[in-house]
Amino acid sequence: MEALLALPIIRSLLPQGRKEIHLGDRFFYLSLKTFAVVIICSLVALVYLLWSIAAPAFANYGFHFFTVSTWNPVTEKFGTLAFIYGTVVSSVLALILAAPISIAVALFLNEVAHRHIGTLLGFMVEMLAAIPSVVYGIWGVFWLAPWMRSVVQPFLKGNFGWLPLFDGPPYGVGMLTAGIIMAIMITPTISSISREVFRTIPSTIREGALALGATKWEMLKLAILDSSRSGIFGACVLGLGRAFGETMAVTMVIGNRPQISASLFAPAQTMASIIANEYAEASSDMHRSALAAVGLSLFLVSLLINGGARLILWRSERAFRSRV
Amino acid sequence: MIWDLQRFDRRRRWKNRLAIFSLTALTAVAVLPFVSILGYVIQRGYPVLSWQFFTSLPKPVGEEGGGIANALLGSIEMVALASLIGIPLGTLAGTYLSEFGRGKVATTLRFTCDLLVSVPSIIVGLFAYTLIVVPMHGFSGYAGAFALLMIQVPMVTRTTEEILKLVPQHLREAGLALGIPRWKVIIRIVLRGSVSGLTTGVMLALARIMGETAPLLFTAFNNRFWAEGFNQPTASLPVLIYTYAISPYDDWHAQAWAAALVLVLFVLILNISTRIIIGRRPEGRH
C-alpha cells in the first residue's frame, strides 16, 4: 500500500494538506507503537522483579532448594521437592484422565454428533473453561471430596488396594481429587484445540476412506487420528501447562500437606498452592523470597511447556499445509 | 470363505458400534461436571439469595445473616479500574498488531502476549505485590486492579488483533483510495466496523478477570467492611468465596454458595451474550 501511495500520480490526487495527513499518520503509528512497547516492558519488569526477590533464596539454598523436601518457615529451612512432586504428579494425573476424554469429545462433536447437538454439547464443554477456578474449588470441597471419600476411594481401595497407589485412609481431599478436578478444568483446552486440528483435515480424506468401505470408526482412526497425532500431542502438552499453573481449585482440595507419598489418597501440596497459602502471611524476608523463588520456577516451567506446545502445534499445522 | 468374510464384516460393524457408543459415553462424562456444578451451585446458593444479601455488610462470626455488598462493590470497582486502562491499552496494542503488524516490535509483542496469557495468574499476583503493595506498605485495591489489568491486557490485545484481521483488505484500500488518511481509515472504518467483535472480546476478558482469585489473595487481600478508596484492602467476590468455603462455619458456607451462584451467573450471561453477538454477525468468526 505504501508503494501505491508513493506513486506521483496517486500523490497528486491526495488532498491539499497532505503534509498534515502524513504527520497525523506518523503520530498515530508512534503512539500505537508506544503502547506495544509498554506491554513488552511489563513482561520484562515482571521477570526482573520476580528474579530480584527470588535471588536471595536461590543464593542461600543453591541447588538444595530443589532436592530437599523440608519446608519450615520457622527455622527458615526451605526445600521444594515435595511441591514439585505434588505439582508434577497431580498435573500428569489430570492429563492421563483428561486426554482420552477430551479427544473423544473432539471426535464426537466434530465427526459424529448431529450439528445442533454438537453445538449445544460443545458450548457446555467450553463453558467448563469459563467457570472460575474458585467455583470449582467450592464444588470440590463440598461435593467432589465427600463423594470421593464415601464412594470412589473405598471402591478403589477394595478392588485395587494391593497397589501402593490406592493404599491408605480415604480422606476425600488429596492428590487424586486434585487430579480429577484439574482434569475437568483442562478438558475444554485439549478438546477445543484438538477440534481445531481435526478441522484442518480436508474432507476429501474422510470421504476417500468411507468410499473405500471403511466403517465410521475406521475412518476416524485412519483419516483423523493417525494424521493429527502431533497436533493432539501439542494440545495435550498445552493442557498440561494449564494444569501446572492451576491454583485455587487445587489449593482447596489437595489437602495442603507438604509430603511425598506413594498413595494418591494422601494430601499433598503444589508449587502454586504453597504460594497461595503462605504468601499473604509470610513475615520474614527469606520466607517471602523462597516463595517468590517457587513462583519463578513455576513461571519458567510453564513458559517451557507452553512454548513447547505452541511449537509442536505450529509445526504440525505447517506440515499438514505442505502435504495437502 | 464367504462365511469368513461375513464374520469379519460383522465384527467390523460391531467394533464400529462399540466405538461410536464409547465416544458418546465419554462426551457425556465430560459434560456431566458442568451440569453437576451448575445444578449444585443453584441448589445450594439460590435459597440464600435475598435483597439484604446484596445490600448488607458481613456480620461478625456467630451472627446469622449479613451479605456480600462490600465484596460485590469491591469486585466491580477493581474490574472497572483495570478495564479503564486495560481495554484501551489492549485494543490499541491489538490494532498495532493487526494494522502495522510486521517488524520486530510486533513479533515481540505477539510473543509477549502469548507468554503473559499462559503465566499462572498467581505469578501476576507476586508481581503486583512487589511492584505496588511493598512500596505502598499495605494491601490495596490499586494492587488488585493492577494484577487484574496484567491478566486482561494480553487477552484483549490478541482478540483485537484476530478480530481486526477479519476486516477485508479492500475496505481499507477503498478508504485510502478516497484520500482518507490512514489513521482515520483505521479508526473510522476498521475499528468502528468491528465494534461488535471487539465488544465480545472485551466481555470475555471481563468474565475472566471477574472470577480471578489467586492474584487478589495478596494484593487486594480482603476486608470485612467497606474499603474507603482504592488505597485500602478491598474485599472481592472470588476471595470471599474462597475464605468462606474453607472456613468452619455453616452460615459462611451457605453464603459462599450464594456468592458462587452470583459469580457463575455473571460469567455465564457474559459468555452466552457473546455467543449471540457472534451468531448474529453476517460473517461469524467460524
- Give the C-alpha distances (Å, rounded to integers) separating A68 from A64, A72, A81, A89, B110: 6, 11, 5, 17, 38
pLDDT in tens, B182-215: 888 999 889 998 998 999 999 999 999 999 999 9
**DSSP letters along A247-301, please?**
-HHHHHHSB------S-TTS-B--HHHHHHHHGGG--SHHHHHHHHHHHHHHHHH
With an 8 Å Cβ cutoff, is A124 touching chain B? yes
The pLDDT-based confidence of A135 (bands split at 50, 70, 90) is: very high
Number of neighbours of residue A25 by Cβ within 10 angstroms: 16
What share of chain B has pLDDT > 90, as a percent?
65
- What is the ipTM, given to two decimal places? 0.91
Under DSSP, the state recorded for A77 is: E
Residues 6 or more apart whose CB falls under 8 angstroms from that of A65 comprise: A57, A58, A78, A79, A80, A290, A293
The whole-angstrom distance between residue B104's C-alpha and the CA centroid of its chain comes to: 29
Distance from CA of A162 to the nearest CA of B (A): 28
pLDDT in tens, A7-38: 555 555 555 455 666 788 888 999 999 999 99
Of residues A245, A307, A310, nearest to B120 (C-beta): A245
Q: CB–CB of A243/A95 below 8 Å?
A: yes
Q: Model pTM?
A: 0.90
**Residue A315: pLDDT over 60:** yes
**Residue B36: pLDDT over 90:** yes
- Give the C-alpha distances (Å, rounded to integers) separating A169 from A86, A265, B121: 18, 7, 33
Tell me the C-alpha distance between A31 and B97, whole Å.
13
Instruction: Answer yes or no: do A134 and B221 touch at CB < 8 A.
Output: no
Of residues A139, A216, A275, nearest to B16 (C-beta): A216
With an 8 Å Cβ cutoff, is A257 touching chain B? no
Place of cell 475499528: B191
Distance from CA of A64 to the nearest CA of B (A): 23
Q: CB–CB of B62/B281 below 8 Å?
A: no
- Mean pLDDT value across residues A298-304: 92
**Residue B181: pLDDT over 80:** yes
Instruction: Answer yes or no: do B33 and A15 touch at CB < 8 A.
Output: no
Of residues A52, A107, A134, nearest to B242 (C-beta): A134
Residues of B in contact with A279 (CB under 8 A): 125-126, 129, 217-218
Instruction: Answer yes or no: do A139 and B40 touch at CB < 8 A.
Output: yes
Counting every residue written for chain A, the total comes to 324
Tell me the C-alpha distance between A159 and A154, whole Å.
9
Residues of A in contact with B274 (CB under 8 A): none
A·B CB contacts under 8 A: 254
- Mean pLDDT value across residues A51-73: 90
Tell me the C-alpha distance between A289 and A56, whole Å.
6
Domain ranges of chain A: 2-61, 64-323
Amino acid at B44: R
Tell me the C-alpha distance between A41 and B143, whole Å.
18
Residues 230-249 of A with CB under 8 A from B: 241-242, 244-248
Tell me the C-alpha distance between A3 and A121, whole Å.
49
Tell me the C-alpha distance between B201 and B207, whole Å.
10
**Residue A319: pLDDT over 90:** no
Instruction: Answer yes or no: do B242 and A107 touch at CB < 8 A.
Output: no
- Give the C-alpha distances (Å, rounded to integers) separating B56 from B9, B53, B244: 70, 6, 16
Instruction: Answer yes or no: do A104 and B26 touch at CB < 8 A.
Output: yes
Distance from CA of B64 to the nearest CA of A (A): 21
- Give the C-alpha distances (Å, rounded to integers) separating B164 from A137, A300, B85, B95, B179: 37, 32, 20, 7, 21
pLDDT in tens, B249-273: 888 999 999 999 999 999 999 999 9
Tell me the C-alpha distance between A118 and A106, whole Å.
10
- Mean pLDDT value across residues A205-215: 91
The whole-angstrom distance between residue A208's C-alpha and the CA centroid of its chain comes to: 36
Tell me the C-alpha distance between A148 and B195, whole Å.
47
Give the model's pLDDT for residue B98.
Answer: 93
| Widest pairwise Cα distance in chain B | 87
- Give the C-alpha distances (Å, rounded to integers) separating B179 from A13, B98, B170: 8, 21, 14
Give the model's pLDDT for residue B228.
Answer: 82
Give the residue from B36, B95, B213 with the most A CB atoms within 10 Å of its CB, the best one to mutate. B213
**Grid coordinates of A79:** 526445600
3-state secondary structure of A85: helix
Of residues B115, B179, B264, nearest to A135 (C-beta): B264
The phi-psi region of residue A161 (left if phi > 0; otherwise alpha if psi is between -120 and 50; otherwise beta) is alpha
Domain A64-323 fold: MetI-like fold (1.10.3720)
Nearest to B240 by CA among B40, B48, B58, B54: B58
The pLDDT-based confidence of B283 (bands split at 50, 70, 90) is: very low
Instruction: Answer yes or no: do B257 and A38 touch at CB < 8 A.
Output: no
With an 8 Å Cβ cutoff, is A133 touching chain B? yes
The pLDDT-based confidence of A131 (bands split at 50, 70, 90) is: very high
pLDDT in tens, A79-110: 999 999 999 999 999 999 999 999 999 999 99
